[in-house]
Chain A
Amino acid sequence: MAEALTREAAHAAALEQLKGRAARSLWRDAFSRLRRNRGAVAGAVIFLLIVVMAITAPVIAPHDPIKLNARNSLREPGREFWLGTDQFGRDILSRIIYGARISLMMGFVSVAISVTAGSLIGLLAGYYRGPIDMIAGRLVDVMLAFPGILLALVIIAVLGPNLRSAMIAIGISAMPIFIRVVRGSVLSLRNSEYVEAARVIGGRDARIILRHVLPNVLAPIIVLASLGVPAAIISGAALSFLGLGVQPPTADWGEMLSNGRSFLNRAWWLSTFPGLAIMVLVISINLLGDGLRDALDPRMRL
């Protein structure tokens, strides 16, 4: 009996080691594949530049992004204000530099919400099946039946219009796809040998999920998340258009673009530069996300 147990344990340990090595090399392979992908590298570089810009905003911004000056209202791009000023006389360039912080936050915090909540629900549903799975399934159905942006609108109506609500709303509405993908991956793993083995040797569920299941669904989660970030940024801009996003005087690209739209005839620079900023950020993350997908999970269709 004892012998058998030991043998089982040894077997599990060996399996684990093997899997660990496989996992490590999977990540290493993925990284080297990513490095060879020119688009992904370009995306990564641009993205990092934007992150650096956001971090160093107070140092590199030529003007105060919030202080207003009616005399400088609607200045054309020129020597003093490279990208012009808005109607409050605030420097567009400085607001774009500071605004990177909000746009990045909008993208990453919302996705963090959907990843965390979605993965947790998906993991539990896929691992335990039964009633939990049933409830999660209904939840996903209901959320998906709430079409698109409408769920976010209702959530914001409940929480009040501001950045925090916008991030929560976008995060929650993007959750179903994470639940589905994670649940699906967990289902296929659940009966795999090493999970079975871990269970046989009496591993606690929490440990099994964390040590054995989660690492193996990480790849699709990362890929999904990387594509979710730009989508969240675009959704944030849409909310700003509806007056439900960031509230003044915070500089945010979506808000700047939305505010600038009423000046399209009079001052093109108000909307053009924030619009371009959004596009560049979204494209860079998309390129990076595509690269990640190709590198980590080439068969994934997204």
Chain B
Amino acid sequence: MAQLDDLMATRLGRRVSRRTVLRGGALAGASIAAFGLLAACGGDDDDEPTATTAPAATATTGGGAEATATTGGSGGEATATSGSSPEPTATTAAPAPTATTAAGGDVEMGGELIYALGNRFDTLDPTITTFSDVIRIAHHIFDPLVWQPTPGEFIPGLATVWEVAETADQYTFTLRDDVTFHDGSPLTADAIKFTYDRIIDPDTKSQVAFSALGPYSGTEVPDPQTAIVSFSRPYAPFLNSVSSTILAPLPPAVVEELGFDFGIQPVGTGPFMFDSYQTDTQVRLVKNPNYTWGPGFLNHQGPAYLDAITWRIIPEGATRLAALQSGEIHMMQNVPTQDVATVENDSKLEIINAVLPGSGWSMMNNVTRAPNDDLNVRKALQYGVDKEGLIQVVWQGLYKVSTSPLTSVTFAFDPSTADIYTYDPEMAGQLLDEAGWTLNGNVREKDGQPLVMGLYYRSDNPDFVALATYLQAQYAEIGIQIELNGLAQAGYFDAVRAGEHNLQFWWGPATDPDGVFRVFFHSSNADGGTNRNRYKSAEMDALIDEAAGTTDVERRRELYVELQHKALEEAIMVFFSEPSEMYAYQKDTVMDPYVTWAATVPLFHNTWLKS
């Protein structure tokens, strides 16, 4: 086990071990390819339509990486080629057989893993869902075209070889010829064409996959094993997109036959086959005995060790943990921070705590609405919050302070941002005085108007409620009155899309800085979109677009550092903390659980249960 940990640490830049906060930072810096997908949505946590927002339906030219971006490749021959290389690069498949597990010989076959999710979801069709939990399940029913074991490293999945046109608007995939769907039909390139065409059909109501496909214009199938996917303009993040099962090929015949019901009885190519689904209760998958195309970075590519996996949905955090403690389930996600200590003190349990790449918990200023249209007022909000205290109160001190739009494990994160705003209530007061807001009793006033800001948040999320409670009390100390508007999700979306808020929260992991800056600050997202700062600046747009289209890693890093400083200078958002994804499992039973580097997907291809 220890050996595996070390192995994974080297390969993934993070340790899967107790109490360790995992990092992928160093590696992420080493090679950033054109990813940027999986930018999960903001404004909510996992509790909801978390959606992976594709960074750019708008064109990002070039994409990030150099052709040489093969990294972390301690796995031997596994040549990894980043997607968006300017020259057409053909990559040959070569499984990485060197990664073996310490468990090697004494693996026990069979058993059924019971895994608890925290939230209900919409459909099991990965090309339609808006929930990241579905992607967790889909990684077992389906396979991606390519795998991305470490940031920017792409290795073969269903595709053995891929070729990217110089202009990054055409991708040619060569598929393995030995893959079959669970119904026995062979995987051919038609499946890719069918799946992608279906995604862009409005009747499919696809959200995340639709965004992930970007400016898709069509797929050609010259022969059964070759798919040529074309885009109407350069779309570098595409390889990152296809490294998730969001764009996994579906079996055309089955989908045609089932229609919408494909979402309740999916058929894929993955190591587990769909068995049963009770809406909002559980999904059961059974082992696919014919599976031989597992990802090269895992220790074996054949059929799974487990006979079955049951994914149970247990919404109440306390109950989920109780079920783990009482042995009803083997593993759970979304460990409430309140209970991390309990898990750590339980000798039978192990916790995985992984900082998420992308952006952390933050608060958007509506820069078009007074008083938040005033830079000094926004700066006062930056100086006026004690983030350590906030993290203590809301997350029991378990998260790290965030000082930049990017979390510290994300490519191009600039540590010097830590010095820009520190907790300094006096400075906040001065700034407010300068802005003309002077103290009158407990609340500041200007021209007889009190300094009031409406904070909008979803009242069904305890983290938001706690954050709001803390901030209201904290900002009262510098004379700002925060009006709390906790709304149910319906009212919330309407209010913030219409820009009725002064302030609102955001939470948004992503795998590429483009998935952060474009979502937060690009003017194309400013009118009712994700940029609820409603911030529009030609200069900012140009920087974001340039960074997304830059292939030189160092230049790209410089651009993102510049962007971080620009966002902070303008004090557009207040950044509070870096979130973690926390998993807990029975450490004497669950062997070799594997969590992917973006910390959102556990893979059970290799996992086995010790009796």
Contact = CB atoms under 8 A, between A and B. Distances in A.
Interface in B428-475: 459-462, 465-466, 468-470, 472-474
Contacts of B90: none
Given A70-B388, A263-B338, A243 B466 contact: no
B341 A266 contact: yes
Interface in A154-201: 157, 160-162
Contacts of B472: 248-249
A208 interface: no
| Contact size range, B | 20 to 34
In terms of DSSP, what is the predominant structure of the interface of chain B? helix
Contacts of B459: 161, 243-244, 247
Interface string A115-159: 000000000000000000000000000000000000000000100
A137 to B, nearest CB: 33
Contact of B339 (A71, A161, A162, A265): A265
A272 interface: no
Contacts, number: 79
A262 to B, nearest CB: 5
B111 to A, nearest CB: 28
A162 B491 CA distance: 13
A52 interface: no
B462 A262 contact: yes
Interface string A246-288: 0111000000000101111110000000000000000000000
Contacts of A31: none
B460 A243 contact: yes
B490 A157 contact: yes
A88 B469 contact: yes
B88 interface: no
A175 to B, nearest CB: 23
Contacts of A249: 469, 472-473
Interface residues of A, number: 27
A160 B486 CA distance: 9
Interface in B331-361: 336, 338-339, 341-342
A162 B487 CA distance: 9
Contacts of B490: 157
B46 to A, nearest CB: 16
A157 B473 CA distance: 27
B465 A266 contact: no
B386 to A, nearest CB: 7
Interface stretch (B32-40, B161-169, B390-398, B551-559): B390-398
B468 A248 contact: yes
A188 to B, nearest CB: 44
A70 B338 contact: no
Contact of A70 (B389, B486, B491): B389
Interface string A74-87: 10000000000001
Contacts of B390: 70
B484 interface: yes
Interface string A35-71: 0000000000000000000000000000000111011
A70 B468 contact: no
8 contacts: A67-B473, A73-B392, A87-B396, A161-B459, A247-B486, A264-B318, A265-B318, A265-B339
Interface of A: 66-68, 70-71, 73-74, 87-89, 157, 160-162, 242-244, 247-249, 259, 261-266
Given A88-B470, A249-B469, 9 more contacts: A70-B388, A73-B393, A87-B466, A157-B490, A162-B486, A243-B460, A244-B488, A266-B339, A266-B341
